[in-house]
């Protein structure tokens, strides 16, 4: 079947605010408001976003 009567994608923001999951506002993309943008920035500055993959804590006592 080739049904061409699919409902169109509703217009509007396609993204959700990563902070509060509300629809993002273009002006504050990808957030819904400046407040949420500040919250995200605060998380970065607070060190909660730790970049993984550079963990050099030695755990190699097996090789000697």
Terminal Cα distance for the chain, rounded: 67
- Interaction pattern, residues 11-50, with Zn ion; x per rule: CB under 5 A: ------x-xx-x---------x---x--------------
CA 11 to chain centre: 21
CB 44 to Zn ion: min, Å? 16
Question: In this chain, which stretch among 1-9, 10-18, 40-48, 49-57 interacts with Zn ion, using CB under 5 A?
Answer: 10-18
Residues 6+ positions from 37 with CB-CB distance below 8 Å:
28, 31
Of how many residues is the chain composed? Answer: 64
CB 22 to Zn ion: min, Å? 5
């Amino acid at each position: 079947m080739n049904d061409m009567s699919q409902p169109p994608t509703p217009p509007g923001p396609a993204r959700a605010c990563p902070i509060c999951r509300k629809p993002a506002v273009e002006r504050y993309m990808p957030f819904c408001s400046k407040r949420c943008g500040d919250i995200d920035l605060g998380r970065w500055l607070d060190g909660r976003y730790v970049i993984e993959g550079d963990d050099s804590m030695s755990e190699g006592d097996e090789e000697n």
